[in-house]
Amino acid sequence: MEFKHRPVLLEECMEGLAVRPDGVYLDGTLGGGGHSSEILKRLEGGRLIGIDRDGDAIEAASARIAALQRDGLPRFDALRGNFHDAKALLAGIGVEKIDGALLDLGVSSYQLDEGARGFSYHTDAPLDMRMDRGQALTAAKIVNEWSADEIARVLRDWGEENWAAQIARVICDRRKAAPILTTGQLVSVIDAAIPKKLREKDGSHPARRTFQALRIAVNDELAPLEQALRDIASLLNPGGRLCVIAFHSLEDRVVKNTFRSLANPCVCPPSFPVCVCGRKAAVKPITRKPVTASLEELAENPRARSATLRIIEHL
């Protein structure tokens, strides 16, 4: 399958980045290169660095941007890795400061749609869910080897699944007879664990929370996120902006709280008349409330319905 990616909140991101023609920019979640292509079109003599842990994304985005490069667009570097390590990855190519960065968190449309990746509960496929297919940990390994308590914790903490303990128990019962190796088998387990009358009570697929939780666990998406945001914010030149798109409340909560802490780091008690801790704001918020997709975008791309964009600017 060709790696296609429809960039979410594209115009809002470009406006938020306020791209300088001669600036240096980071796309920390390169994907299919949709956002990167638009950044490059706004550069004249600048530079763009894209990071992705998915080799398919690196290949597809590089090909897409190579076609644009024939029109004389600026330098583009594609790095295989995780944006959590952006500081070290950029240092490795001699980049110490940037003028803006964009993160489009979560799983891409391509990864959802390609059955072999195992991200989707709509297609029966191997239970994989790795963004980096070179890593050892898969969803099948978690489901078949972790304890009931560990699985329940993952589903509860990262999927906000009310039936976490019941699903974990049924998983452990089923795997005694035979390993759970496909997404279809896991969906069947979830159906058995959640009472039928409650499966679609909130209007969503009953497997949505479990699949989200396993994907986050496999790819270690949340634990390093706060530090990654702080690291990238510290790379920004004065006036540089960081735009982050989140797709579920757990991600967005980390982004919101980290941005708030960077914009207001004072730890003095509220009763103090003046700040004595000496901690100064590193950034200012550009978005007071998260930006969401327009009705026009939702009509064209329903997957944008859960996207939220937050933006900060380095002081």
Domain containing residue 186: CATH number: 1.10.150.170
pLDDT in tens, 12-55: 999 999 999 999 999 999 998 999 999 999 999 899 999 999 99
| Residue 128 located in a structural domain | no
What's the average model confidence in pLDDT over 53-61? 90
Per-chain mean pLDDT for the chain: 92
- Is 195 in the same domain as 179? yes
* Structure-model confidence comparison of residues 205 and 67, the more confident one: 205
Question: pLDDT confidence of 114, banded at 50, 70, 90?
Answer: confident
pLDDT in tens, 137-163: 999 999 999 999 999 999 999 999 999
H or E element that contains 42: none
Tokens of 191: 């159906």
CA distance linking residue 244 with residue 265, whole number of Å: 20
- pLDDT at site 202: 61
State the total domains in the chain: 2
What's the average model confidence in pLDDT over 72-83? 88
Residue bearing tokens 């706004």: 42
Question: Does residue 4 have a pLDDT over 60?
Answer: no
Tokens of 37: 């292509």
Question: Does residue 259 have a pLDDT over 60?
Answer: yes
- pLDDT at site 200: 64
- Is 156 in the same domain as 283? no
Question: pLDDT confidence of 272, banded at 50, 70, 90?
Answer: confident
CA distance linking residue 295 with residue 144, whole number of Å: 42
Among 171, 200, 219, residue at a domain's last position: 219
Question: Does residue 1 have a pLDDT over 50?
Answer: no
Question: Does residue 180 have a pLDDT over 50?
Answer: yes
Q: Strand pairing partners for 102?
A: 27, 243
Question: Does residue 100 have a pLDDT over 70?
Answer: yes
What's the average model confidence in pLDDT over 250-263? 97
Question: What b-and-e string marks burial along 70-105, b requiring 16 or more CB atoms within 10 Å of the CB?
Answer: eeebbebebbbbbbbbbbebbeeeebeebbbbbbbb
- pLDDT at site 274: 84
Closest CA to 186 of 209, 202, 204: 209
Of the listed ranges 47-61, 103-117, 301-315, the least confidently predicted one is 103-117
- Is 262 in the same domain as 304? yes
What's the average model confidence in pLDDT over 107-118? 76
- Is 87 in the same domain as 23? yes
Question: Does residue 91 have a pLDDT over 80?
Answer: yes
Tokens of 103: 């993160």
- pLDDT at site 225: 97
CA distance linking residue 241 with residue 311, whole number of Å: 7
- Is 15 in the same domain as 101? yes
- pLDDT at site 253: 97
Question: Does residue 173 have a pLDDT over 70?
Answer: yes
Question: Which domain, by its residues, includes 144?
Answer: 137-219
| Residue 287 located in a structural domain | yes
What's the average model confidence in pLDDT over 302-310? 94
The SS3 assignment for 79 reads strand
| Residue 274 located in a structural domain | yes
The SS3 assignment for 97 reads coil
% of the chain at pLDDT higher than 70: 94
- pLDDT at site 45: 87
- pLDDT at site 6: 74
What is the per-residue DSSP string for 221-243? -STTHHHHHHHHHHHEEEEEEEE
Closest CA to 140 of 129, 155, 150: 129
